[in-house]
Amino acid sequence: MAAPERPAPSPAPVPAPAPAGSPEGPSPQQPGLVRSLTHRQTTMIGLGSALGTGLFLGSGSAMGAAGPAAIVSYAIGAVLVAIIAVLLGEMSAAHPVQGSFGVIAHKYLGPWAGFLTRWTYWFSAVVVIGTEVVASALYIRWWWPGVPMTAAILAVAAVVLAVNVINVKSFGTTEFWLSTIKVTALCAFILCAAFLVFFGLPDSGATGFAHLTDDGGFMPHGAKSIWIAMSVVMFAYAGFEVVAIASAEATDPQRTIRTAMRQLAWRLSVFYVLSITLVMAVIPWQRLAAGDGSVEASPFVRVFTDVGVPAAATLTNLVVLIAAISAANAHLYGASRLLHSLGADGLAPAPLAALTARGVPAAALAASTLGIAVAALLAFYDVGGIFGILMSIALFAVLLVWLLILASYVAFRRHRDAHPADFTGFSVLGGPVLAVVAGAGVLAVAATAIEVPDMRQAAGVGLAFTVVLLIAYALIAAGRRKRA
């Protein structure tokens, strides 16, 4: 017997913010989340959360694993993410509710799925926050190596918290401009790298694309390396889900979701595949991957450093620093909103459901800074390989969330096709088939744990955490049945 929960959202779109798991809006005495995010802000929040450390810093790991064939890995990842994003967009347009895909999983798969989806996403987001903050600290130390790692982490944390704690409008405005800066800079980088590839500099000729086939060929480690690199590549795309979460605070959720997810799908594909191709065309892949374990510099920074343009390298390092702070900022927003929805449903401590007068879930926000605290402690005690460990653990949790989203979509479409009059919004042609294809792809990425040590460690931690969550839900359900 399922645990008695609050009613799940109705199939009809919800025009106002609602507590997680409930189609009704907040009572007059109970303040709710404020719908103040514009369409442009919500779209840029999605880009801000996805364009971060995974591209600017983690791409070196993918290059080391697959060489130039990492381009194929990024292209495959782009296809998988495009499918998940569009399918999630269809569900979110029909249910723009607080708790987003967690509440949708609750409705279509069962209360256990809603509980597991939201807590797992929160866990992954918290780890990503820590990862992005660690990366930010490394970028700062690129300029000032003498700055203690812990001090750099705390400085970044203060900035991220300050942006989130004011109100959602402030967060949206800040994230819009941070994302705009890094998207503009990435476009400029692509143009500069393309110039080096096709025209070169006065003292050096055009590089062309010879580096993509020199030194062992396009696939120096064999075709299998394309699959191995996916363990790093997919992390780079994680974060687009924040758009669905933000729909509960968007002024026009249906329009925002419909267009934002589609724009994210093709923009991320272009940015990732094109920039990675040009990076490895300018600089031999071995040099980009060398020393990657220490993660002391981004491949994007090394492009300009190696061609002797130090001022450009400094500017690029500033951009990747902004990118990491922006991603941490967006993930903290997403984590706090899902934790708040869990509190509103009685599936997390009640104080987490509290909102400030400005509609900010301050308690959930504070609890979601756990990733920053852990990152600071790891840095303080000089734990080696911080970035790789954090990245792989976050990836496992993200993969599980994606699988739950895809499973929710299959059940959602079955219900939508049976009751078409109850729904508005767009519908993806062949959606259920695409969901199965994407699910197979996600499982294939998870299977890299067979070959990748960090993924094996992540799988162990992730599976243990999943079991703990399911046990916790069973205890909560049993307690509710006893009280009923």
DSSP 341-372: HHHHTTSS-GGGG---TTS--HHHHHHTTHHH
What pLDDT does residue 228 have? 92
What pLDDT does residue 15 have? 35
Least confident of 53-62, 280-289, 467-476: 53-62
User: Residue 432: pLDDT band by 50, 70, 90 thresholds?
Assistant: very high
User: Residue 426: pLDDT band by 50, 70, 90 thresholds?
Assistant: confident
What pLDDT does residue 46 have? 74
What pLDDT does residue 293 have? 43
Residue 66 has pLDDT above 50, yes or no: yes
Residue 23 has pLDDT above 60, yes or no: no
What pLDDT does residue 58 have? 67
Coil vs helix vs strand at 290: coil
Give all domains of the chain, ordered by start, each with its CATH number. 39-483 (1.20.1740.10)
What pLDDT does residue 112 have? 93
Residue 450: exposure state from Cβ atoms within 10 A (0-12, 13-18, ≥19): exposed
Residue 151 has pLDDT above 70, yes or no: yes
User: Residue 388: pLDDT band by 50, 70, 90 thresholds?
Assistant: low
Kind and range of the H or E run holding 7: none
No. of helices (H) and no. of strands (E), the chain? 19, 0
Rounded Cα distance between 358 and 220, Å, is 55
Rounded Cα distance between 273 and 190, Å, is 11
Kind and range of the H or E run holding 142: helix 111-143
Rounded Cα distance between 243 and 256, Å, is 9
Cα-based angle 272, 276, 282 (whole degrees, multiple of 5): 150
Nearest alpha carbon to residue 51 among 293, 329, 303: 329
Q: Give, as one character, the DSSP assignment of residue 448.
A: G
The more confidently predicted of residues 482 and 408 is: 408
Q: Considering the chain, what percentage of its residues have pLDDT values greater than 90?
A: 21
Rounded Cα distance between 434 and 452, Å, is 27
The model's pTM is 0.84
- Given a contact cutoff of 8 angstroms between Cβ atoms, the answer to whether 377 and 148 are in contact is no
Residue 371 has pLDDT above 70, yes or no: yes
The more confidently predicted of residues 87 and 240 is: 87
Rounded Cα distance between 343 and 483, Å, is 19
- Given a contact cutoff of 8 angstroms between Cβ atoms, the answer to whether 68 and 288 are in contact is no
What pLDDT does residue 17 have? 33
Q: How far is CA 463 from the centre of its chain?
A: 20
> Tens digit of pLDDT for each residue in 329-369?
888 998 999 999 999 888 888 899 888 888 888 899 989 98
452 Ramachandran zone, left/alpha/beta (phi>0; psi -120 to 50): beta
Least confident of 143-157, 376-390, 456-470: 376-390
What pLDDT does residue 369 have? 87
Residue 144 has pLDDT above 70, yes or no: yes
Instruction: Note the maximum CA span of the chain.
Output: 79
Kind and range of the H or E run holding 212: none
Which single residue is written with the structure tokens 């381009």?
71
The torsion angles phi and psi of 58, rounded to 5 degrees, stand at: -70, -15
The more confidently predicted of residues 224 and 394 is: 224
Strand partners, 250: 37
Nearest alpha carbon to residue 100 among 338, 400, 348: 338
Rounded Cα distance between 124 and 239, Å, is 10
Q: Give, as one character, the DSSP assignment of residue 241.
A: T
- Given a contact cutoff of 8 angstroms between Cβ atoms, the answer to whether 152 and 140 are in contact is yes
Q: Mean pLDDT, to the nearest integer, of 131-147?
A: 84
Q: Which of 88-92, 233-237, 451-455 is most confident?
A: 88-92
Rounded Cα distance between 264 and 243, Å, is 9
Rounded Cα distance between 303 and 181, Å, is 20
Rounded Cα distance between 106 and 96, Å, is 14
Least confident of 18-27, 28-37, 97-106, 384-393: 18-27
Q: Mean pLDDT, to the nearest integer, of 215-237?
A: 88
DSSP 408-441: HHHHHHHHHHH-GGG--S---TTHHHHHHHHHHH
What pLDDT does residue 389 have? 61
Mean pLDDT for all residues in the chain: 80
Q: Mean pLDDT, to the nearest integer, of 71-98?
A: 90
What pLDDT does residue 387 have? 57
User: Residue 202: pLDDT band by 50, 70, 90 thresholds?
Assistant: confident
* Sign, CA torsion 89/270/275/77: positive
Residue 30: exposure state from Cβ atoms within 10 A (0-12, 13-18, ≥19): exposed
Q: Mean pLDDT, to the nearest integer, of 187-191?
A: 84
Residue 263 has pLDDT above 80, yes or no: no
Q: Mean pLDDT, to the nearest integer, of 387-402?
A: 76
Residue 52: exposure state from Cβ atoms within 10 A (0-12, 13-18, ≥19): buried
209 Ramachandran zone, left/alpha/beta (phi>0; psi -120 to 50): alpha
- Given a contact cutoff of 8 angstroms between Cβ atoms, the answer to whether 254 and 346 are in contact is no
User: Packing angle between helix 431-446 and helix 70-94, nearest 10 degrees?
Assistant: 130
CB count in 10 Å sphere of residue 99:
30
Q: Give whole-number Cα distances, 257 to 40, 100, 401, 481, in Å.
A: 11, 12, 19, 37
Q: Which of 133-137, 262-266, 340-344 is most confident?
A: 340-344
Rounded Cα distance between 232 and 270, Å, is 18
Cα-based angle 463, 244, 117 (whole degrees, multiple of 5): 20
The tokens of 52 are what?
């971060």
> Tens digit of pLDDT for each residue in 294-304?
444 567 777 77
The more confidently predicted of residues 304 and 130 is: 130
